């Protein structure tokens, strides 16, 4: 059992076996925290924290946080990162996505309240839906279809934000909300379904890159360590409203694919498919608030980040991980 007697902060990370949850765990450990990781492996992978085996400052619990959470430990901070996060995941697990965004948020907020702990919820740029404002500021309320195929994820996160603010206002919990924009890097799943792993895996296996629509829709890609740095800074602040964390460098999907073709040296071409329902046409964060409040902005160049990501995927493919 972790107690405050040693003086080191104790953090709970839900979704700790996931892409971002595992990177956050590493950052917290590097900052001197002891970490209790929680995950039910619906989309997480034990390989993402296998390097922590034997680390006395990390303990893992297999649990679905949509159910009541009991911890005998002292807790100083709760980071709620558990949720399916890619379209193929929340289309396959719509009920679980809604439950972890609602019940899971309620349970983790209850844990923070009970322990007198700080709290940070991993929200998403999907709260803006298919935006009518560009770039997206935190003050924008969004353009979301609540009954569309993406609604289970979008509305789960919007509800999670509302619940988080209610606990802050009514119970005085020290809460924080980060709206995460497109992020990439090592530990993404090969069959994640999002554009970065899809394009890289297709390129490395000389298959056509699948582009939905004409590829003119835009995205902004932030490298994972930059994102985690912004999240850690936000967790240490006294700000409670949502904050965008992402990279404002914007490119079309087709331009991104052209970069992947160039960096991998593949002979792949493009395979154009019908665009999915409610697929956002544009996505770029306004990070003015993060710069002013946290002194944060992304530092890893796209060229450096994508090279590291391609190297990771190349290694996983060579190791025999399935790509389709």
* Residues recognised as catalytic: 153
Contact in structure between 72 and 2 (CB atoms under 8 Å)? no
Place of tokens 């972790």: 2
In which region does residue 255 sit, left (phi positive, over 0), alpha (psi from -120 to 50) or beta (all else)?
Answer: alpha
What lies within 8 Å, CB to CB, of 2 at 6+ separation is 10, 34, 36, 59, 73, 74
CA dist 159 and 137 (Å) reads 19
Contact in structure between 105 and 80 (CB atoms under 8 Å)? yes
What lies within 8 Å, CB to CB, of 72 at 6+ separation is 1
């Amino acid at each position: 059992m972790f107690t405050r007697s040693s003086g080191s902060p104790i953090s709970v990370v839900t979704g700790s076996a996931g892409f971002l949850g595992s990177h956050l765990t590493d950052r917290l450990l590097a900052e001197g925290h002891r970490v209790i990781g929680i995950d039910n492996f619906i989309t997480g992978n034990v390989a993402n924290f296998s390097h922590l085996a034997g680390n006395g400052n990390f303990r893992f619990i297999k649990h679905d946080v949509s159910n009541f959470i009991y911890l005998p430990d002292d807790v100083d901070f709760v980071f709620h990162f558990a949720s399916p996060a890619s379209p193929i995941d929340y289309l396959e697990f719509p009920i679980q996505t809604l439950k972890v965004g609602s019940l899971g948020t309620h349970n983790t907020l209850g844990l923070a309240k009970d322990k007198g702990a700080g709290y940070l919820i991993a929200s998403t740029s999907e709260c803006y839906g298919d935006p009518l404002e560009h770039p997206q500021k935190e003050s924008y309320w969004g353009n979301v279809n609540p009954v569309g195929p993406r609604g289970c994820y979008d509305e789960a996160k919007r509800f999670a934000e509302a619940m988080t603010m209610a606990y802050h206002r009514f119970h005085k919990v020290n809460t924080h909300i980060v709206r995460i924009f497109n992020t990439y890097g090592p530990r993404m799943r090969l069959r994640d379904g999002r554009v970065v792993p899809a394009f890289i895996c297709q390129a490395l296996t000389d298959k056509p890159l699948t582009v939905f629509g004409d590829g003119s829709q835009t995205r902004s890609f932030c490298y994972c360590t930059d994102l985690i740095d912004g999240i850690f800074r936000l967790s240490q602040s006294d700000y409670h409203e949502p904050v965008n964390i992402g990279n404002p460098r914007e490119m079309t999907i087709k331009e991104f694919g052209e970069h992947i073709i160039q960096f991998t040296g593949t002979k792949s071409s493009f395979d154009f498919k019908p665009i999915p329902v409610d697929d956002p046409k544009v996505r770029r964060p306004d990070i003015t608030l993060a710069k002013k409040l946290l002194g944060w902005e992304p530092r890893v160049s796209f060229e450096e980040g994508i090279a590291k990501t391609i190297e990771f995927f190349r290694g996983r493919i060579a190791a025999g991980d399935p790509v389709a």
